[in-house]
Amino acid sequence: MSSSSSDEVEARLEEIFDEIVEDTYNDIVESQTNKQRRRAYIERNREARHDRLWNDYFSEDSTFPAHLFRRRFRMNKELFLRIVHGLAENVPFFRQRRDATGRFGLSPLQKCTAAIRQLAYGSAADTVDEYLRLGESTALSCLHHFTDGIIQLFGDGYLRRPTPEDLQRLLDIGEKRGFLGW
């Protein structure tokens, strides 16, 4: 075999190799760009939903009375508002901010309500979308920041091991309410 034919074979192999590499690269790039899809924007009218939440539970002449608030949120309104204000003041996630268009984002009330509803009912994150108008990923983020914030703000005072005095007090309350103990 002459050196010229060997050079031709080598040149042809190099061309084939370059074509294969280029095709493979193009296939990879093409498949990556196809996977990058933009999410569809859903206008949730969050401002109106904040107003509705406020009018339903927190205004002076709210739609639902205090006993329904306690049943639905598993706590009284004063405690709920204390938690909301504490988180809004101390955890940046819960502060209401404006977005790039100048619109207000979700209120601290909406974010805390989403987290507490998930905890109180053990429900999925997307169930708060219909009433509060926030998506599943936002609801999960609210829950995550809420639990971290509660531990940060109230952990020392409320999330500790019970002392013998705490246990005795709880047993006394239980006995007074008719629980016989162990």
Residues 11-66: tens digit of each pLDDT: 888 888 888 888 887 777 776 655 556 777 777 777 888 889 899 999 899 999 98
CA distances to 9, 16, 17, 103, 131 from 3, in Å? 10, 20, 21, 74, 79
Residues 56-69: tens digit of each pLDDT: 999 899 999 989 99
> Can you give the residue ranges of every domain in the chain?
8-37, 46-172
